Structure 1
Amino acid sequence: MSRFRRPDKMDSLAGFKTEKAEPAVPHGLLKAARKSGQLNLSGRGLTEVPQNVYRLNIDTPEEAQQNVCFGASDRWWEQTDLTKLLLSSNMLTQLSDDIRLLAGLTTLDLHDNQLSSLPRALGELQELQQLRLSHNQLTSLPVEVCILKNLRSLTIQQNLLESLPEELGQLQNLTELDLSNNHLKGLPSSLGHLTCLQKLNLCHNNLSCLPDSLAKLTSVKLLDCSKNQLTDIPASLSEMLALEQLYLRHNKLRIFPQLPAPALKELYVGNNQIEQLETEQLACLAAISLLELRDNKIKTLPEQITLLSTLTRLDLTNNDITTLPASLSLLPNLKVLLLEGNPLRGIRRDLLTKGTNELLKYLRGRIKEEPERADEGHTAMTLPSQAGVNAHKIKTQKSLVYSEKQAGIIPDELFDAAAGQGVTTVNFSKNQLTSIPPRLVEFHSSLSDINLGFNRLTCCSPDICKLLQLTYIDLRNNQLSDLPSEMKNLTKVRSIILSCNRFRSFPEVLYQIASLETVLLGNNQVGGVEPSRLMKLVHLSTLDLSNNDLLNIPPELGLCSNLRCLSLEGNPFRTPRAAIVAKGTDAVLEYLRSRIPT
């Protein structure tokens, strides 16, 4: 027996074979791209784009040279031009001029690479509608990008840009422009020519001022200028007639901006150096719903804060406020008042921890009621029943309150006293109501705010759907499992609170109320949502789905780009992980977008 043993599995033909290198882009992927017009090469570790990708529209496919097949699935001569090319999360340092060979591209995704420059040939992609360049090392934007007439979305965040070409204003079909997290010190005046723009993100740059030309952006709904070096805001911004959300956090503002923007609903000016609020500045905010003033140096609030009649949330955390005006309690729609970190005097600490309702109730108690006229008699102020009608509140505040009575019905005397008074707010919370009082319909022409929380409602009567002026509905802590389909007629509703009920699914009718801005569905048994329908709620900025039965979060939820606050805590899903959820809404949405299959 030989002492030299052959290996057990030696290939006898090994010496005659040549190793075949694995292609950078599998043949099957290119074949599928010719049919679909889409090619996803994200996360493949590419250091350059293979030549056969650039020549996909030109070269004859391999299968055409091997055999001719007339099968329905192999008609290579009927191939489609490439329209969508995804190259994100690779290691590309440059892009070849051969990109011009893909003239049919409508989407080009190059985000998360190592690009320091772009080829001039990019300007020849005249069909391009979406160009993603974020998370690269670009120090400038080539002028050629500015001649892409059909471009709708341009995202260049997380680069090294210090300036922008004046030709940027030629992109007149642009609806979204994200320039955040760069080194910009100024903006071109031509920016004002982007009249179709709806979202403009300038946060995390080195801007010390904003150009007056921004005033021409009359279609912009969201403008984010947070984390810059701004010391003032030009008054011309008030000409941005569509502006709904304005972010000015983390700047160097000393004066509260006076902006009579007619559509402005949310204004964030936290982390600045603002010391006082003037009546004239507040009077401009005719449609404001959310006002964030946290981490400033505000010492007092003006009595005329009642001018903010549409305000629902006021954040005054970490200021220098020592006293609160009692008139604060007269804001008819105020639901959240945050005051932590202020040196308040005359208000017990335990009162602050009880929440907004208790604090406002305390402030209302400090308002001296005007004496009633003698001819109004006994029944004007009190009634024989336990209703205890406050005629002064009904007349001056247009508010009908019958709360914390543990009552099963609302006395007719209460409705009689409010007849013809144009009541705008009704609070029947914390009772034992099992159905919605039918006489609420009497206020159909004026009622905008209704609170029926903490009752025993098992169903929501269609009668509530006749209150066409409603903007705020609070039905928390009841036993509801569904909402009437007629609720789609409530076209002015902005906020609905359904926390602590028995919903097993996202209420179908809510997908049909286009005006919704806030939906609170925490502490229910909701098992899923439909992102494609949520995306149609273009005003929805706050969605609370915490403590439900969501086993998985659909990645498409990340495309709901209007969401500024998404709460998912307390659900049994595994992804996204708790660490990502803890980072906040932006991190969750970004993670979900990264998981979308293409």
Structure 2
Amino acid sequence: MPVGDPVLDLSYRKLRRLPSRVCSLEYLEKLYVCGNRLRRLPSGVARLQVLRTLALDFNKLDDVPPAACQLANLTRLYLGSNRLMSLPSELRNLQNLRCLWVESNYFQRFPRLLYELPHLRSLQFGDNRLRSLPSDLWRMEALRGLWLYGNRFREFPRALLRMESLEILDLDRNQISSFPNLAHLPGLRLFSYDHNPVKGPPKVGEEVELVGEGAQEAMETRARRKEARRRAAEKEAEEEEAQCTVPAICEEE
């Protein structure tokens, strides 16, 4: 394999085209081309088969470049702040993809083809135009982090109630007026609901961190209750220990 730096950062260079010589750097593992003026990528990018990370944020892409969908070893793809309205069916070729960011685009519907990416763990879908989610979203069993802030949800998407493997869920800046009980989601560790028209947090598990209206007060109350239970358990243990030692003392006398 050719010797060279496996990382190339061409971000914020006002590029309208990716330099053709980049396509010959077949040892590249990470390519950052954020904050340029790209509308497409050359087909030669498909030769970068060692590439693991491709960052195309803040460009002028109307479509996902076909060449990007041929990078079979890609694990991270960043497409935020472009002009995307949909994802191509060829994206399913990225079977090793673990992280996909498509925030700040123009999606009105959730693309079901993402179900076909079996290792996708992190999905950034904030600041789009979603009003609902598919009822069978639970099929994305590998998903651990889902960011849906800044969309157009008026109701909590019921499909999320079956996402038992989710660890991070962000619904900031929507129009949701009430939340269901989320305490049954065993994997949840962070739930953010800030800037929604609600007066307080939903019920969640003991270990879940909350971000939003009334979250701090709720977590402080939870912490006090947890401390009270701990002290009660310690006191009970001390009393049981004391009761166990009394007979022994009496027998010696």
Q: TM-score, normalised by structure 2?
A: 0.78
Cα shift at 1:398: 4.7
Judged with a 3 Å threshold, the aligned counterparts in structure 2 of structure 1 residues 36 and 229 are, in CA distance, closer, same or farther, namely same
User: Please, which of 120, 123, 127 is the counterpart of residue 66 of structure 2?
Assistant: 120
- SS of 1:99's equivalent? helix
User: Please, which of 216, 223, 227 is the counterpart of residue 310 of structure 1?
Assistant: 223
CA deviations 1:31-83 (Å, max 9, x no partner) are xx8523322222222111122222433xxxxxxxxxxxxxxxxxxxxxxx322
Task: Tell me the equivalent position of 1:92.
Answer: 38
Corresponding letter in the other structure for 1:422? K
**Aligned 1:208-287 pairs, distance under 5 A:** 208-235=154-181, 237-253=182-198, 257=202, 259=203, 261-270=204-213
CA RMSD of the aligned region, Å? 3.4
Task: Tell me the equivalent position of 2:245.
Answer: none
Equivalent-residue separation in structure 2 for 1:99 and 1:209 (angstroms): 42
Cα shift at 1:332: 6.9
Q: Relative contact order (alpha carbons < 8 A, sep ≥ 6): 1 or 2 greater?
A: 2
**Aligned 1:480-559 pairs, distance under 5 A:** none
User: Please, which of 140, 143, 149 is the counterpart of residue 197 of structure 1?
Assistant: 143
CA deviations 1:458-508 (Å, max 9, x no partner) are xxxxxxxxxxxxxxxxxxxxxxxxxxxxxxxxxxxxxxxxxxxxxxxxxxx
Does the Cα contact within 8 Å between 2:199 and 2:213 map onto a contact in 1?
no
Question: Which residues of structure 2 form unaligned runs of 5+?
Answer: 242-253
1:45 aligns with 2:1: no
User: Please, which of 32, 46, 50 is the counterpart of residue 104 of structure 1?
Assistant: 50
Does the Cα contact within 8 Å between 1:180 and 1:203 map onto a contact in 2?
yes
Corresponding letter in the other structure for 2:213? G
Cα shift at 1:250: 1.8
Equivalent-residue separation in structure 2 for 1:269 and 1:43 (angstroms): 34
Does the Cα contact within 8 Å between 1:94 and 1:115 map onto a contact in 2?
yes
How many residues of Structure 1 are paired with residues of Structure 2 in the alignment? 239
Judged with a 3 Å threshold, the aligned counterparts in structure 2 of structure 1 residues 167 and 190 are, in CA distance, closer, same or farther, namely farther
Does the Cα contact within 8 Å between 1:172 and 1:196 map onto a contact in 2?
yes
Equivalent-residue separation in structure 2 for 1:104 and 1:209 (angstroms): 42
Does the Cα contact within 8 Å between 1:195 and 1:216 map onto a contact in 2?
no
Larger Rg: 1
Judged with a 3 Å threshold, the aligned counterparts in structure 2 of structure 1 residues 225 and 292 are, in CA distance, closer, same or farther, namely farther
Cα shift at 1:265: 2.7
- SS of 2:223's equivalent? coil
Equivalent-residue separation in structure 2 for 1:100 and 1:107 (angstroms): 13
Equivalent-residue separation in structure 2 for 1:34 and 1:85 (angstroms): 16
Question: Which residues of structure 1 form unaligned runs of 5+?
Answer: 1-32, 58-80, 272-288, 294-305, 312-330, 335-395, 400-419, 425-441, 446-598
Task: Tell me the equivalent position of 2:247.
Answer: none
Cα shift at 1:115: 1.6
User: Please, which of 58, 76, 91 is the counterpart of residue 145 of structure 1?
Assistant: 91
Equivalent-residue separation in structure 2 for 1:106 and 1:36 (angstroms): 14
User: Please, which of 72, 75, 78 is the counterpart of residue 129 of structure 1?
Assistant: 75
Task: Tell me the equivalent position of 2:235.
Answer: 422
Does the Cα contact within 8 Å between 2:41 and 2:67 map onto a contact in 1?
no
Cα shift at 1:254: 6.7
Does the Cα contact within 8 Å between 1:38 and 1:84 map onto a contact in 2?
yes
Does the Cα contact within 8 Å between 1:110 and 1:132 map onto a contact in 2?
yes
Cα shift at 1:229: 1.6
Does the Cα contact within 8 Å between 2:201 and 2:210 map onto a contact in 1?
no
Does the Cα contact within 8 Å between 1:215 and 1:238 map onto a contact in 2?
no
Does the Cα contact within 8 Å between 1:241 and 1:263 map onto a contact in 2?
no
Q: TM-score, normalised by structure 1?
A: 0.36
Does the Cα contact within 8 Å between 2:79 and 2:102 map onto a contact in 1?
yes
- SS of 2:4's equivalent? helix
Equivalent-residue separation in structure 1 for 2:164 and 2:94 (angstroms): 22
CA deviations 1:170-206 (Å, max 9, x no partner) are 2221221111122222223343222222221111111
Corresponding letter in the other structure for 2:191? L
Judged with a 3 Å threshold, the aligned counterparts in structure 2 of structure 1 residues 93 and 256 are, in CA distance, closer, same or farther, namely same
Does the Cα contact within 8 Å between 1:204 and 1:227 map onto a contact in 2?
yes
